[in-house]
Chain A
Amino acid sequence: GAVVSQHPSRVICKSGTSVKIECRSLDFQATTMFWYRQFPKQSLMLMATSNEGSKATYEQGVEKDKFLINHASLTLSTLTVTSAHPEDSSFYICSASAELAGGIDTQYFGPGTRLTVL
């Protein structure tokens, strides 16, 4: 259980275009999903917290107009990188919050999306 998928797994686009990444919880409902960014050989940096039916909460320094997040249902959140530039090239990972036995929430991660902007 607790499987999270991401689509696409890899995308190459031209500078100036927009790219949409989907994150789905396949076998559970997630009121909260998270979007992370990971540069090569570095750790995950939280970009935003996505709550179903409400606006996302962005971390300091993350441009909300550039990284549009929509959490339209309990199983789907999307991240749109608008007007992408080469510096946006990165590995984007989503996670969905689920409750473990014992009542503690933890996050289950998708396989990631490798974005390359030419």
Chain B
Amino acid sequence: SQQGEEDPQALSIQEGENATMNCSYKTSINNLQWYRQNSGRGLVHLILIRSNEREKHSGRLRVTLDTSKKSSSLLITASRAADTASYFCATAGGSEKLVFGKGTKLTVNP
């Protein structure tokens, strides 16, 4: 079943701007992960944040997690045209299974 809900569903920005995508979920989690998918391709793991963490950075990516609000955000700073892709959050509970959100389609215009 689908747990995560991302918003916005689609985001279009100019190169150099920051992109923020949000994800909400419904049940308790062990960790939350963000993935990227280029059109018609597989998923690439971007970053994982544990339930006891509030913020994590990786290069131009910044992820926050608010377990009280059951929400997470992914910030991409100084976006590039190559960042154009769909971004999904996925939550992991007590098992190895991941439950994916609906995704945000990001378009970065040169």
**Could you tell me if B97 and A44 are in contact, using CB atoms closer than 8 angstroms?**
no
Shortest distance between the CB of A89 and any CB in chain B (Å): 14
**Could you tell me if B33 and A106 are in contact, using CB atoms closer than 8 angstroms?**
yes
Assembly CA distance A41 to B42 (angstroms): 14
**Could you tell me if B48 and A43 are in contact, using CB atoms closer than 8 angstroms?**
no
- When distances are taken between beta carbons in the complex, the residues of chain A under 8 Å from B100 are 43-45
**Could you tell me if B97 and A111 are in contact, using CB atoms closer than 8 angstroms?**
no
- Contact string, A44-64, partner B, CB cutoff 8 A, digits 1/0? 111001000000000000000
Binds B, one of A14-22, A65-73, A77-85, A97-105: A97-105
Among residues of A, the one whose C-beta sits closest to the C-beta of B31 is A104
- When distances are taken between beta carbons in the complex, the residues of chain A under 8 Å from B45 are 106-109
- Contact string, B80-110, partner A, CB cutoff 8 A, digits 1/0? 0000000010001000111111110100000
> Most chain-A CB neighbours within 10 Å: which of B40, B42, B44?
B42
With an 8 A cutoff between CB atoms, is B27 at the interface?
Answer: no
Shortest distance between the CB of A36 and any CB in chain B (Å): 8
24 A-B residue contacts at CB 8 Å? A4-B42, A34-B96, A41-B105, A43-B88, A43-B100, A43-B103, A44-B43, A45-B2, A46-B98, A46-B99, A93-B43, A95-B43, A104-B30, A105-B92, A105-B96, A106-B33, A106-B45, A106-B48, A109-B35, A109-B42, A109-B43, A109-B44, A111-B42, A114-B40
* B residues 23-65 touching A (CB-CB < 8 Å): 30-31, 33, 35, 40-45, 48, 50
Assembly CA distance A110 to B43 (angstroms): 7
The residue that A43 contacts in the complex, of B2, B31, B42, with Cβ under 8 A, is B2
Among residues of B, the one whose C-beta sits closest to the C-beta of A94 is B42
Assembly CA distance A109 to B41 (angstroms): 10
Assembly CA distance A93 to B35 (angstroms): 14
- When distances are taken between beta carbons in the complex, the residues of chain A under 8 Å from B35 are 109
**Could you tell me if A43 and B102 are in contact, using CB atoms closer than 8 angstroms?**
yes
**Could you tell me if B2 and A104 are in contact, using CB atoms closer than 8 angstroms?**
no
**Could you tell me if B31 and A46 are in contact, using CB atoms closer than 8 angstroms?**
no
Assembly CA distance A10 to B95 (angstroms): 31
Shortest distance between the CB of A108 and any CB in chain B (Å): 7
Assembly CA distance A112 to B101 (angstroms): 18
